[in-house]
Amino acid sequence: MADYYVGNKEYFPGIGKITYEGPKSDNPLAFKYYDADKKVGKKKMKDHLRFAIAYWHSFCADGSDPFGAPTHPHPWIVDAKSPMEAAEHKLNAAFEFFTKLGAEFYCFHDRDLAPEGESPAESEKNLFALAAKAKKLQKATGVKLLWGTANLFSHPRFMNGAATNPEFSVVALAAAQVKAALDVTIDLGGQGYTFWGGREGYMSLLNTDLKKEKEHLAKFLSMARDYARKQGFKGVFYIEPKPMEPTKHQYDYDVETVAGFLRYYGLDKDFRLNIEANHAELAGHDFAHELETAASLGLFGSVDANRGEPRNGWDTDQFPTSYYETALAMYAILRAGGFTAGGLNFDAKIRRNSIEPADLFEAHIGGMDTFAVGLEIAQRIIDDGKLSGFVKKRYASFNSGDGAKFEKGELSFDVLAKLGSKYGTAGITSGKQEQLENILNKYLLGL
């Protein structure tokens, strides 16, 4: 992968290529565990993990919050004479960052890449102009687009929703935006396209026709899918579940809800789930629960890697730091067959008071190291086979005899009931949860 800031201003001066220095290094700007070409199981770390950088948090978010002004000095904005020039400088800064960090992928919303214009036509023109520049930078650096998406939540027109808006004109405007975002994603070789329905939900049932809105959402998604396929898009469509925020209730509540929706409307062939750790937490689930659920339904796709603050009820989008969590996540992901078109996109932002340019690097280095450790632990668990062996044994009574007949649907309910009376109290065994938790802790220490 080539470094790219030739001919441009260097936005992260004094920071070079981030390299692997190993666990003994104290260099905050080096990987301690993420060793891109190291083989884990059958694949290199980088091919297991497929790290992507979220354009919005890293190059657009400025540290502002509902209580305070921006704190992050974005030099790519300061030295620009117009919003379009700022967008171009931001693109250069982003590619400088991707290549210095060694991330192979990135993800964006249309409005991250280019500013909204006065009209849909002008917005589209801005987007296509920036996408043309992004294409050149992708070619020059080898960095690829993991997925694109449209921001259907920031503009005031979307305050009542986008595809689920009660006004048809807004639904049509959302389509104009998604069409352009799809065109650009396809042109940039995007491996996926994500729908996160931030405002596809409601604030009050008193003013909402829930059935109609869900039908509109399904119609919109089907039409967008058909359009993209017609343009030759071979990638994966993702729905990213989140239960709430900004709406009180979001239709894409969690994996199980989205899976039901996709199947009900016949979208499950083209759509997979993009699962975000912090969203899982807001839905009252463990991250691993959402991953295992998607895998169990054949709908696992991609991951927005971050973490929440367990005592806060909102999306804090922090960088992952827990080996326990990434080990269980990678255990689920590896057993789901690993990533194909998907990857680990850091939908995470540095804190409001992290104001040094190096902070953005250190945040990503920590996140990548944390997932590298999680990957190695997960591979250890799989290679050792104790946990899977235990689970297999736990269900062994379904491998033969009446248990196997039950699974194959060869028993009627009254026969099953008769067998029940015959068995009496048999089959009460320990779940051995504590022993398994102790074993997991041993894997975590690499023992």
Q: How far is the CB of 185 from ligand XUL (least distance, A)?
A: 13
In terms of phi and psi (left: phi > 0; alpha: psi -120 to 50; beta: otherwise), the region of 355 is: alpha
Q: Which does 149 bind (CB under 5 to 8 A by kind): Co ion, ligand XUL, none?
A: ligand XUL
Binding footprint of ligand XUL on the chain (CB under 6 A): 109, 149, 194, 196, 240, 242, 276, 304, 315, 347
Neighbour-count burial for 123-141, b at 16+ CB within 10 Å, e otherwise? bbebbeebbebbeebbeeb
Give the phi and the psi of residue 276 in degrees, each rounded to 5: -105, 130
Query: How far, CA to CA in Å, does 441 sit from each of 1, 277, 320, 377, 438?
Result: 37, 21, 19, 10, 5
Q: How many CB atoms lie within 10 A of CB 224?
A: 21
Closest residue to ligand XUL using C-beta atoms: 196
Task: Please say which residue, 170 or 344, places its beta carbon nearer to Co ion.
Answer: 344
Task: Please say which residue, 191 or 379, places its beta carbon nearer to ligand XUL.
Answer: 191
Helix (H, G, I), strand (E, B) or coil at 53: strand
Catalytic residue chosen out of the listed positions 109, 285, 289, 364:
109
Catalytic residue chosen out of the listed positions 112, 254, 317, 347:
112
Task: Please say which residue, 120 or 246, places its beta carbon nearer to ligand XUL.
Answer: 246
**Are residues 240 and 194 in contact, defined by beta-carbon separation less than 8 angstroms?**
yes
Task: Please say which residue, 194 or 318, places its beta carbon nearer to ligand XUL.
Answer: 194
Task: Please say which residue, 201 or 376, places its beta carbon nearer to ligand XUL.
Answer: 201
Q: How far is the CB of 433 from ligand XUL (least distance, A)?
A: 32
Among 96, 183, 290, 304, binds Co ion (CB under 5 A): 304
Catalytic annotation on 364?
Answer: no
Catalytic annotation on 110?
Answer: no
* Of 280, 365, 394, nearest in space to 328 by CA: 280
Q: How far is the CB of 131 from ligand XUL (least distance, A)?
A: 18
Among 110, 124, 200, 276, binds Co ion (CB under 5 A): 276
**Are residues 217 and 200 in contact, defined by beta-carbon separation less than 8 angstroms?**
yes
**Are residues 341 and 303 in contact, defined by beta-carbon separation less than 8 angstroms?**
no
Q: Which does 242 bind (CB under 5 to 8 A by kind): ligand XUL, Co ion, none?
A: ligand XUL
- Taking the C-alpha atoms of residue 1 and residue 37, their distance in angstroms, rounded to an integer, is 13
Per CB under 5 A, residues contacting Co ion are 276, 304, 347
By annotation, the residues acting in catalysis are 109, 112
